[in-house]
Amino acid sequence: MATNITFHPGAVSSEERANLLGQRGITLWLTGLSASGKSTIATALEQHLLHLKKHAYRLDGDNIRFGLNKDLGFSEKDRNENIRRISEVAKLFSDSGAIAITAFISPYKADRNLARELHTKSNISFIEVFVDAPLAVVEQRDPKGLYKKARAGEIKEFTGISAPYEPPESPEIHIRTDQLDVAASVKVITEYLVSQGII
């Protein structure tokens, strides 16, 4: 970590910001296998929340790798750093009062726990959403042809095939996308946010 630096606090408290904006910031952390439906649900949820006049912003795994994380590969070390960076970015968005929606495979429990801890230390709500679909289902969907390539050995360290996915043990929200469509999945998340007084 850099030395000779000092954190410069702002003049607006979290409570004042929430009152002025009419909402408090949170992070919705969507995790699940590739092709489980994370990005599709995140996109629909962002649109739905914006139509409800809520400031929401989606941070998508593939999109982030075009810019902020374009220097990272898919080794375990790089995956850890990918999630560490996006955890910090999501925390900044939610600290600003936005509903940050992240859609990342984030296969390791330790990384997701780190993301939660970063938010908890800053008194920011962190809501883990397990976007769950069996491996057989996501392999059948395979919209990008990645599972086929992984099975053929063309992609190394592919989550669910040659690299592990550690499912959440107690997520705040658990969505089975082999049983629910996108609209129903968005409804489940929205109803949770309403029940928690977030929207």
Higher pLDDT, 69 or 119: 119
The predicted structure's pLDDT at residue 9: 76
Q: pLDDT band for position 56 (50/70/90)?
A: very high
b/e map 35-54, b = 16+ CB within 10 Å:
bbbbbbbbbbbbebbeeeeb
Amino acid 96: pLDDT? 93
Residues 6+ apart with CB under 8 A from 60: 39, 42, 43, 102, 103, 104
Q: What is the pLDDT of residue 87?
A: 95
Instruction: Give the pLDDT confidence score for residue 1 in this predicted structure.
Output: 63
- Confidence at residue 196, expressed as pLDDT on a 0 to 100 scale: 94
Using N-to-C axis directions, what is the helix angle for 76-95 and 109-121, rounded to 10°? 30
Mean pLDDT of the chain: 92
Strand partners, 130: 31, 174
Each residue's pLDDT tens digit, 78-112: 888 988 999 999 999 999 999 999 999 999 999 99
Q: With beta carbons less than 8 A apart as the criterion, state whether 131 and 41 touch.
A: yes
Rounded CA-CA distance 74/80 in Å is 9
Question: Which pLDDT does position 2 carry in this prediction?
Answer: 72
Q: Are 46 and 101 in contact (CB under 8 A)?
A: yes
E strand residue ranges, 36-82 = 56-60
106 labelled catalytic:
yes
| Edge-to-edge order in the sheet of strand 125-132 | 56-60, 99-103, 26-31, 125-132, 173-176
Query: Residue 133 pLDDT > 80, yes or no?
Result: yes
Q: How confident is the model at residue 3 (pLDDT cuts 50, 70, 90)?
A: confident
Is residue 193 over pLDDT 90?
Answer: yes
Query: What mean pLDDT is predicted for residues 32-61?
Result: 96
**Model confidence band, residue 192 (pLDDT cutoffs 50, 70, 90):** very high
| pTM of the complete model beyond 0.85 | yes
pLDDT, residue 64, reads 81
Which residues neighbour 33 within 8 Å (Cβ) at sequence distance 6 or greater?
A: 105, 133, 135, 138, 159, 160, 165
State the catalytic residue, choosing from 106, 122, 125, 195: 106
The predicted model gives 184-188 an average pLDDT of 98
Q: Average pLDDT, stretch 105-123?
A: 95
Residue 46 confidence (pLDDT) above 70: yes
